A = this chain, B = another copy of it.
Amino acid sequence: MTTTTPAATTELETVAELAAQLRVDSIRSSTSAGSGHPTSSMSAADLMAVLVARHLRYDWDDPSSPANDHLIFSKGHASPLLYSVFRAVGVVSEEELLTGYRRFAQRLEGHPTPVLPWVDVATGSLGQGLPDGVGVALAGKYLDRRPYRVWVLCGDSELSEGSMWEALDKASYYQLANLVALVDVNRLGQRGETEFGWNLDAYARRAESFGARVIAIDGHDLTAIDNALTTAAEDTGDRPTVILAKTIKGRGFSEIEDRNGWHGKPLPEDLADRAIAGLGGVRDLVLRGPRPDPESATTTAEPVTGDGARPHYGVGEKVATRKAYGDALVALGARDPRVVALDGEVNNSTYAGEFAHAYPERYFEMFIAEQQLIAAATGLNVRGYRAFASTFAAFLTRAYDFIRMGSISRVDLRLVGSHAGVEIGADGPSQMGLEDLAMLRAVHGSTVLYPSDATSAVALVDAMATTAGISYLRTTRGAYPVLYPDGETFPVGGAKVLRDGDDVTLAGAGVTVHECLRAADLLAQQGIRARVIDCYSIKPIDTATLTAAVTATGGRIVVAEDHHPEGGLGSAIADALVAAGQAPLSLTRLAVTGMPGSGTSAELLAWAGIDADHIAEAARDLLG
């Protein structure tokens, strides 16, 4: 039986057939793979059948159409259901579903990723799809200004993640009536019952208190689902909608329905056969739901304000790199209407506030919710915006899982962390980014930048605008002299030789570049000529410049960094030199090895042993 039904007219009787097919295909795909989550798929099959057949406005032949609704599986483990939907709309074949799911070098991965053109973001770390959806919905309402809707299928278990409440909070704060969360309340988590089981009232009270319109339904009653989705699609004007659907895990096969112990387990073949037979056997229904109004895909040119001239600073002028970030972002925003900015309630510290002032319509305050900060940037990127997300470097650690997932989502995230290292001084260790370089370097495909002055900071912000993947700019709290004149270029992957000398190499980044320069002065007084290198690009690192310097200086190099010793600049340099087979090599690494307290910048740089005196001393020790 093959049926192709025109948009929006599919009867619920056919939808019921579709739901049965989605269940059968969820079972078939996971059993064929020998792994996967059929029961978590079966509970949500009715929700997805009604949504896809009658409400999701999507042109399956043009997944990149800006008019399309968005469908995000926040419960990414229900991938058998999602892929079964893809088969039902005719974009994935039965063969692919049965031989490609969870297999090596195939695109139907265990959890969905944007390797598939109909998937916006990677999910599978729970509690991220809804926050990402907030970002897409922000784009729809405030930037695209198009009527598309963002539908997010959520699990009940993931409502225990705080990030889900950050998402609902921001969805109501920003009045995202275009966002609908469908919660599949199937009562059972991985290892047992959830905190609330089928207590929909408990979830409803919470979601309502966070500003959502709540609709509670029987998630297996197609008419109820259809009515709920119709209501959800009606614009509330100011509130997101949360549909709480009471469902049964494993629904459709009585031997596993609502039973603990069946999470993440494919049915053995004999059970699968019985289940499929009971569900009416294999179907080959192909049907599509409504398509978006093509009018809604038209683009209006964005007005651009300001002249876009890059800020200039005089050499020797004292300017904080965080200030240069703000200046550069304002200039970039004038040149590129797709640049947007977000911040975690510290925009007067990170200087994202300059952008907020210049382009209030392209700035989103995320308040103190770093996970949602990164998720919103992810969602905005899905819609093609170049989002810069800033907070203190230390607080980006709050969102590491979101950054990691961003790399799997293949989005371009532009992250800016201010107040790096002990340099910040009096505020103490809780505010000091001392793990951020290690954290960001370890992300797949990331770019890690750390300017020492305002001129290079501006150039690197410009570079980030066109850098693919996760890029990170580390900025410094204090104001330090501008080192580079206008027009100097700073390619990603490069380094600058600031002083020439053949006795010893001194390498730093950010604040320690200034300490290296002072150390070179101290050494010069003793007749020692140091070569000073500004490693503004930490990943990729400039192996050629470093090996040339180290070779010229007899293998002697001192690296100083305002970061813990593991995984930062020193590791990047050691990795590069060892990989290059550098010999001889006498590398001294200075980093923050103790637990800092408060103090002035100078006191703490000295205490950590990364100031000019210590660098000079280390250089003298190398020279013996």
> Knowing A345-B191, A427-B35 touch, does A162 contact B162 (C-beta < 8 A)?
yes
Any B CB within 8 A of the CB of A304: no
Identical chains in the assembly: 2
Bound together, the chains give a CA A394 to CA B128 distance in angstroms of 14
A33 within 8 A of B: yes
**Which stretch, A42-50, A61-69, A286-294, A346-354, touches the partner chain B?**
A346-354
> Is A571 engaged at the interface, CB distance under 8 Å to the other chain?
yes
Q: What residue of chain B has the Cβ atom nearest to residue A431's Cβ?
A: B124
With the chains together, A598 CA to B103 CA distance in Å? 6
Within 8 A of B (CB), among A72-92: 76
User: Is the pair A567, B578 in contact by a Cβ cutoff of 8 Å?
Assistant: no
Interface assignment of A322: CB less than 8 Å from any CB of chain B:
no
Out of B348, B425, B589, which one reaches A190, CB within 8 Å?
A: B348
User: Is the pair A401, B397 in contact by a Cβ cutoff of 8 Å?
Assistant: yes
B439 touches A367 (CB 8 A): no
Asked if A597 lies at the interface with its beta carbon under 8 angstroms from chain B, I say yes
Return chain B residues, CB-CB under 8 Å to A581: 586
Residues of chain B with a CB closer than 8 A to A404's CB: 394, 397, 435
> A residues 383-413 with Cβ under 8 Å of B?
394-395, 397-398, 400-401, 404-405, 407-408
Q: Pick the residue among B158, B208, B370, B429 that contacts A408 (CB under 8 A).
A: B429
A22 within 8 A of B: no
The interface residues of chain B lying within 8 Å CB-to-CB of A428 are: 102, 109-111, 113, 124
The smallest beta-carbon distance between A392 and chain B, in angstroms, is 9
Given A345-B189, A598-B106, CB of A435 within 8 Å of CB of B429: no
CB distance from A36 to the nearest CB of B (A): 8
Is there an interface contact between A103 and B599, defined as CB atoms closer than 8 Å? yes
When distances are taken between beta carbons in the complex, the residues of chain B under 8 Å from A349 are 190
A102 and B598 contacting across the interface, CB-CB below 8 Å: yes
Q: How far is the CA of A583 from the CA of B583 in the complex (A)?
A: 8
Residues of B within 8 A of A434 (CB): 442, 444
A140 within 8 A of B: no
The residue from B160, B567, B586 contacting A166, defined by CB atoms under 8 A apart? B160
- Evaluate contact between A564 and B444: CB separation under 8 angstroms: yes
CB within 8 Å of B: which A140-175 residues: 157-158, 160-166, 169, 173
Which residues of the other chain, B, contact A567 by a CB distance below 8 angstroms? Answer: 438, 441-442, 566-567, 571
Contacts of A607 in B (CB 8 A): 104-105
Tell me which residues across on chain B come within 8 A of A600, comparing CB atoms: 104
- A residues 473-506 near B (Cβ < 8 Å) are none
27 pairs from A and B in contact (CB 8 Å cutoff):
A104-B607, A108-B598, A110-B428, A124-B428, A125-B394, A125-B431, A160-B368, A160-B369, A161-B368, A165-B165, A190-B345, A190-B349, A206-B209, A209-B209, A395-B401, A397-B400, A408-B595, A434-B442, A435-B442, A439-B439, A442-B566, A567-B571, A571-B574, A574-B578, A579-B589, A581-B586, A585-B585
Q: Closest 6 A-B residue pairs measured CB to CB?
A: A162-B162, A124-B430, A104-B599, A567-B567, A438-B442, A110-B428
